[in-house]
Amino acid sequence: MERIIETVLEIGLEKPVKILHVTDVHLVDSAPDDDPEQQEHMIKRKEVFAKEANYPPKTQNEYFEEAFRIAEEENAVMMVSGDVMDVYCKGNVREFHRIADGHDYMFTPGSHEFALFARSPKGDDPAEYNRAYWERRKQVEGLFPELKFNFESRVVGGVNIVAIDNSRDFYSAEAFEFLKKEVEKGLPIVLFSHDPLGDHGLLRVREPHPLVRQSDETYAVNDAMIEFIGKCPLIIATFGGHWHGEAERIAPNGAKMFVTPGLFKGICRMIEIR
């Protein structure tokens, strides 16, 4: 690993709890699906990420392997917050399985898990776009039956570690219900989602693209959940990825917000709660 950001949260625990936060792996595999066009796309994407990471000495696949080793050595809970696969294709599914299978980790997806190649036509009908999205999402979920794509939680050493999907730039009504039930447990919570709480997509700073725009009711629930997160005293910090860069500040809703850089840069975050 090129760098491990160290984040300490003091809440008065007797024994510290460690979480290794890893995000935006962006696995790119140029192994062909007998499709030269896909292969060409993958080679281009490899270069995009290498350049963005300033040509690090290892590949994202190697950093992903190393992160699992570090989490196990440090007795930390491994949290993977999405964009593991740059696109959904056979080669990336195979690499994701090869590296992660057999390890214990928590997960919440990014949008790239369900993305096809850049050249794939997206159409202009939101209903058709949505149908195609859910078709792909069900396929990906079926290939990783051990992962909980919508939400999951785990209580470790008196801390409730919660992961909730917001990868389509909103929190769903089911997600909000889940979070409220987690809060009822009465334990301190660290919340992980792909989009950070200050993300412009999540906050709809700009009008969403017509293909992905949701109903006003859906956005009202999302906004209420974001407000709830900001006001909930049990939520001690929130963590996200998606920006590929590092940030630490108070989000517009008042929540403490940490953004962890993409693992393809050889960077991850060790959180110690004590």
Closest contact distance (angstroms) between CB of 16 and Fe ion is 29
Does 169 engage in binding with Fe ion (CB under 5 A)?
A: no
CB 202 → Fe ion: shortest distance, Å?
A: 11
**19: which 2 tokens?**
């979480």
Cα–Cα distances in angstroms (integers) from residue 265 to residues 110, 258, 260, 272, in the given order:
17, 17, 11, 22
* Residue with the CB atom nearest Fe ion in the bound state: 83
Integer CA distances (angstroms), 223 to 12, 173, 194, 196, in order: 31, 11, 16, 14
Q: What character string, x for contact with Fe ion (CB under 5 A) and - otherwise, covers 185-204?
A: --------------------
Cα-flanking dihedrals φ and ψ of residue 90, to 5°? -55, -45
- Asked if 110 interacts with Fe ion (CB under 5 A), we say yes
Is the Cβ of residue 188 or residue 241 nearer to Fe ion in the bound state?
A: 241
Closest separation in Å from C-beta 111 to Fe ion: 5
b/e code 16-45 from CB counts within 10 Å (16+ = b): ebbbbbbbbbbbbbeeeeeeeebbebbeeb
Please identify, among the stretches 18-26, 54-62, 205-213, 230-238, the one whose residues bind Fe ion according to the rule CB under 5 A.
18-26
User: Using CA atoms, how far apart are residues 125 and 119, in angstroms rounded to an integer?
Assistant: 17
265 binds Fe ion (CB under 5 A): no
Q: Put residue 260 in one of left, alpha, beta given phi > 0 → left and psi -120 to 50 → alpha.
A: beta
Which of helix, strand or coil describes residue 22? Answer: strand
The DSSP 8-state label assigned to residue 190 in this structure reads E
Single out the segment in contact with Fe ion by CB under 5 A; choices: 5-13, 67-75, 76-84, 169-177.
76-84
Candidates 242, 256, 265, 269; binder of Fe ion (CB under 5 A) is 242
Q: How far is the CB of 45 from Fe ion (least distance, A)?
A: 12
Site for Fe ion in 22-61 (CB under 5 A): 24
- Tell me how far, at minimum, the Cβ of 52 lies from Fe ion, in Å: 10
The correct pick among 29, 83, 165, 199 for binding Fe ion (CB under 5 A) is: 83
Comparison of 9 and 25: residue with beta carbon closer to Fe ion: 25
Q: Name which of 214 and 254 has its Cβ closer to Fe ion.
A: 214
Residue 238 CA to residue 229 CA, distance in Å, equals: 9
- Closest distance between Fe ion and the C-beta of residue 79, in Å? 15
- Alpha-helical segments (H) within 79-215: 90-100, 126-143, 173-184, 200-203
Binding site for Fe ion (CB under 5 A): 24, 83, 110, 242
